[in-house]
Structure 1
Amino acid sequence: MLRSLGHLFVGILSVLVYFFNTVFWATLIFILSIFKLIPLKPWRKFISYLLDACATAWISVNNLNQRLTSGTTWHVQGLSELSPKDWYLIIANHQSWVDILVLQRVFNRRIPFLKFFLKKELIWVPVLGLAWWALDFPFMRRYTKSFLAKNPHLKGKDMETTRAACEKFKHKPVSIMNFVEGTRFTQVKHDRQNSPFTHLLKPRAGGVAFVLTAMGNQLHKLIDVTIDYPAGVPSFWDFVSGKVKDIRVNISVTPIKDIVQDGFFSTDYFDNPDQRIRFQQWLNARWEHKDQLLESMNSTQSPL
């Protein structure tokens, strides 16, 4: 009973800190976002760095909150090769919303602030669209096969638009995050897919290929993250209330030029069926290694 009350108190306190920290920094980010609308390139660049600093500070306070309330022991391998001045593509297995907090905790101030590719339509989401734009989240435009069949003259224009949107990252380090399984692991999804892996869903190569095609010349390294929860996959409440005792994270860094030079990826991915097969096979091999790594870490997928 006392332990349950302790977890309840810690959870409520932690959630309140998350809430007020988020409100404070989100308000500041939104105000700076409005200033970034002024169409002066040097000014926008200056505001962009301020916005990234705000986002980094938001995560730093969240991490401090975790250190004071969670009591989690972290086992992290592979951080030594990272730098906040480099350009990264990050892939990881996905089991829980806690994964986002884990990635932010592990990578904050070690690599540039994590960003996700977003559909171009999301820029019109009230408040958030402006914040995502201001934080330089790259927006992508993808045309469907049926649309291109009716408008063949637009083939390749979506990629050109996305590349143009990513031009800012030539001189500004960035980290692009992609959960290649496309969704969180559950046993039901695993069985529905008939996944060949024990602890993972099937990886999808298309999202990674899109990022590499749009930004291949700008991104320098691939970070492959394996996240393991030894006592079972936690909920957000489990994490904030101090119930998660151990988290294990393994980080592997591969130069993207090695992937290209070895022939596993080329920018004609979307037009070359053989290239798509080869890249999917490469990603499957990485996932096989990740599955074996999770097995060696005594990973389970049962809930707490």
Structure 2
Amino acid sequence: MTAAELRQRPPPEKASEPNSTADDTDPALDPDIAHPAGEAKYGRFRALLRALSFSIYFASSCLTIHITQILGAPIYYLNRDLYYAYMSLTKASFGLLITTMTQWWAPTVIRISGDASVAGQFSLTPDGRVQCAFPERMVMIANHQIYTDWLYLWWVGYTNIPQMHGHVYIILKESLKWIPVIGPGCMFLGFIFMSRKMAVDRPRLAHRLGKLKSRHLDPDGNRYLNPMWLLLFPEGTNLSSNGRDKSAQWAAKMGLRDMQHLMLPRSTGMFFCLSELKGTVDYVYDCTVAYEGVPRGKFGENYFTLSSTYFQGRPPKSVNFYWRRFALADMPLDNQEEFDKWLRERWYEKDALLEQYVSTGRFPANGAGIKGHIETEVRTRYWWEFMRIFVMLGLFGLIFNFMLRVVRALARR
């Protein structure tokens, strides 16, 4: 079934209204609403122990990565290319962190399919891991269901050949910049902080995108572009009752068709990014994300909280991806109004895809050269890979210890 055919399907007659009071019900407080992942696997005491172990691992890893960044910061004044390569290693360490914490505390099935535009870009290894063959430079867009969407999409970079989890760039709210360790760490990673006021954001966005499209010289004198996966969520925020209501009100005000499972996308930021990157990026990869078991008219953020997912043992039973690819050459990047219409049409297609998912429990499986759906899980290739997070700081420690011994030996003479 094609996206065009899906668009023609009429909406179900009993679709929930976006402003229904039932949408505001917290499943954790209403015993009549079953959790999509079933009963909690762990009681309060075990959940507390899991929260404690999770917090220790996450905090120690983040602190290790940030100290490594600080120690490597002077490289910026010696060699810019070497500095960015170094920071990409620390970014890969964070990618390993979020992959391992999901593998250990919140294992889940990842179910993948796509249309013909991504044919031949997915495969399974003999041990059941998925391998992607996406380009080294692209823009990735997705609907924003819950806060952990970026975590699963970052993991996709880990599965890519070549691996890209050290080259992911994300646009964040400016307020996150002030969180200790996390905020400065994200600044080292080259993430883009936005105030959501385009007049303020345009110069800083142009500055960061200018760095991402800068060409470099290799030792042979050849010019090249650094790898880059720029992740954008055109809806601007994760799906919620309040967001759906605002989207419905905006659709009514502008005379636009509203959506059932998504919010209307905002095109301004994406249009600016693509216009700036044109000529250095060939494709936009679109991922439609769905979480198994979320009832029609409800919102995943009310079910898959940090506590339920990582501490109580109730992660999503499956996270479902449907991939499509669009060439920048085919997009109306010369006219923002036309681009706004183009993006909105893609979102209507995504809404139809989500309607099929809610109705059947599956995205379409045909079209990508894949027999059925690929099923895998979030995990690393080797069990010991998490130790790479601490290797760079360990090397600094060894070097410092060696230099200290040399100084002491010289002082004794």
Same fold? TM cut 0.5: yes
- In 2, distance between residues paired with 1:73 and 1:280? 34
1:44-71 per-position Cα deviation (integer Å, ceiling 9, x unaligned)? 13422321231222123223214xx54x
| Structure 1, unpaired ranges of 5+ | 148-155, 267-274
Match of 1:218 among 268, 272, 280: 280
For CA contacts below 8 A with separation 6 or more, give which structure has more relative contact order.
2
1:219-245 per-position Cα deviation (integer Å, ceiling 9, x unaligned)? 333121111123212232232223245
- Greater Cα shift, 176-185 or 104-113: 104-113
Task: Using the TM superposition, give the Cα deviation of residue 296 of structure 1 relative to its aligned residue in structure 2, in angstroms.
Answer: 0.5
Change in 2 beyond 3 A, CA 1:244/1:53: closer
Change in 2 beyond 3 A, CA 1:36/1:126: same
Q: Which residue identity does 2:190 align to in structure 1? A: D
Structure number with larger C-alpha Rg: 2
**Aligned counterpart, 2:270:** 208
**Aligned counterpart, 1:153:** none
Q: How many residues align?
A: 275
Helix, strand or coil for the counterpart of 2:111? strand
Match of 1:49 among 88, 94, 108: 88
Match of 1:77 among 113, 119, 134: 113
Match of 2:143 among 90, 93, 99: 93
**Aligned counterpart, 1:27:** 63
Q: Is the 8 A contact 1:95 1:184 kept in 2?
A: yes
- In 2, distance between residues paired with 1:54 and 1:34? 15
Task: Using the TM superposition, give the Cα deviation of residue 198 of structure 1 relative to its aligned residue in structure 2, in angstroms.
Answer: 0.5
Match of 2:351 among 291, 296, 302: 291
**Aligned counterpart, 2:289:** 227
Q: Is the 8 A contact 1:193 1:202 kept in 2?
A: yes
- In 2, distance between residues paired with 1:192 and 1:142? 16
- Greater Cα shift, 38-47 or 74-83: 74-83
- Greater Cα shift, 126-135 or 26-35: 126-135
Change in 2 beyond 3 A, CA 1:263/1:49: closer
Helix, strand or coil for the counterpart of 1:182? coil
- In 2, distance between residues paired with 1:10 and 1:238? 13
- In 2, distance between residues paired with 1:104 and 1:249? 15
1:174-229 per-position Cα deviation (integer Å, ceiling 9, x unaligned)? 21111111122223332333251000111001121122123233333312111112
**Aligned counterpart, 2:208:** 162
Task: Using the TM superposition, give the Cα deviation of residue 120 of structure 1 relative to its aligned residue in structure 2, in angstroms.
Answer: 8.0
Change in 2 beyond 3 A, CA 1:172/1:62: farther
Q: Which residue identity does 1:76 align to in structure 2? A: I
Q: Is the 8 A contact 1:223 1:251 kept in 2?
A: no
Higher share of residues assigned helix = 1
Task: Using the TM superposition, give the Cα deviation of residue 246 of structure 1 relative to its aligned residue in structure 2, in angstroms.
Answer: 2.5
- In 2, distance between residues paired with 1:76 and 1:6? 29
**Aligned counterpart, 1:242:** 313
Matches within 5 A, 1:124-273: 127-138=181-192, 160-167=206-213, 171-194=225-248, 195=251, 196-232=258-294, 233=300, 234-236=303-305, 237-240=307-310, 241-255=312-326, 258-259=327-328, 261-266=329-334
Q: Is the 8 A contact 1:85 1:112 kept in 2?
A: no
Helix, strand or coil for the counterpart of 1:117? strand
- Greater Cα shift, 213-222 or 275-284: 213-222
Change in 2 beyond 3 A, CA 1:167/1:106: closer
- Greater Cα shift, 172-181 or 276-285: 172-181
Q: Is the 8 A contact 2:169 2:229 kept in 1?
A: yes
Q: Is the 8 A contact 2:62 2:181 kept in 1?
A: no
Q: Which residue identity does 1:55 align to in structure 2? A: F
Task: Using the TM superposition, give the Cα deviation of residue 250 of structure 1 relative to its aligned residue in structure 2, in angstroms.
Answer: 2.3
Task: Using the TM superposition, give the Cα deviation of residue 133 of structure 1 relative to its aligned residue in structure 2, in angstroms.
Answer: 2.8
1:137-182 per-position Cα deviation (integer Å, ceiling 9, x unaligned)? 246799865x8xxxxxxxx866653343324586321211111111
Change in 2 beyond 3 A, CA 1:88/1:11: farther
Helix, strand or coil for the counterpart of 1:297? helix
Q: Which residue identity does 1:178 align to in structure 2? A: L
- In 2, distance between residues paired with 1:285 and 1:223? 15
**Aligned counterpart, 2:164:** 112
Task: Using the TM superposition, give the Cα deviation of residue 103 of structure 1 relative to its aligned residue in structure 2, in angstroms.
Answer: 2.4
**Aligned counterpart, 1:16:** 52
Change in 2 beyond 3 A, CA 1:25/1:227: same
- In 1, distance between residues paired with 2:177 and 2:242? 33
- In 2, distance between residues paired with 1:292 and 1:141? 32
Change in 2 beyond 3 A, CA 1:277/1:14: farther
- In 2, distance between residues paired with 1:99 and 1:227? 8
Helix, strand or coil for the counterpart of 2:70? helix
Helix, strand or coil for the counterpart of 1:298? helix
